Chains A and B, each alone.
Chain A
Amino acid sequence: MSLFDDYYTLLIESGPEILDGFIVSLKLLAGSCFFAFLLAVPLAIARVSENAWLRQFARTYSSIFRGTPLLVQIFIFYYGLSQFEAVRNSVIWPLLGDSFYCGITVLALNLTAYMAEDVRAGIMAVPHGEKEAATAYGLSKFQCYRYIIIPRALSIVTPVLGNEVIAQLKATALVSTITVLDMTGIVRRLSARSYTTDALIIAGVIYALTTLTISLVVRFAEHRNTRHIRR
């Protein structure tokens, strides 16, 4: 049982440190998901808008953020933008100069692109009759989106959005490359200090358990969101 003893001692010794990292990871996850969700809905609406420019903008945004590696995006925002004097003097510098906030920003912008595609798919999947019924009831375009299309679209894509959140948890690990001490950052330091991978494996197990928890929560949310269809 010496194998597990090692892990046990490591957890006793560095448990609080790993917990701190875990909390940072959760903050990154919650923050980026929150802002991404706020941005994704308007972007999805822009994606199906009648205005060709808006549509093109949304499509370009999505394809750029989905077509390049997240790590490269993080490097562009954190190392790349600091190259310019104008950026360093601008108002957004406090946001981009701090590795944690820069990490959240890039993660959110990246997730927005993915979520917008999902929400768009949801909007397309709303039965046409419901949209027509809303128009027939005299709902304005805004009301139509606010009360009919968006709620319906979101409940259709709940499971997909849940998968995006899980993928996002895994993506947060990347910000450890720009010196954010999230869980991956902490265990990398621990493992470099001890010359073993024990800490990395512990983090892996914690990530897997968190993923499991999130997927259970998503299943519950899905269950709740479809209660009007369920018998």
Chain B
Amino acid sequence: MNFNNQNTLESASVGSTKNLQLLAAATLGMVILFGVGFAPMDMAHNAAHDTRHSVAFPCH
């Protein structure tokens, strides 16, 4: 019984670490997407200009 409880607890904590790691990776993805596609600085816009047009991000 105890063993089972411990097992459940462990898998629950692994589950929440998994979700935390997925959240971190998705956040990184969104930060990169913002930098490439939406950052308002002229330098970022000029460097990624053709990419922004090709993927139809709002540009100019």
A and B found bound together: no
The residues of B with any CB-CB pair to A shorter than 8 Å are none
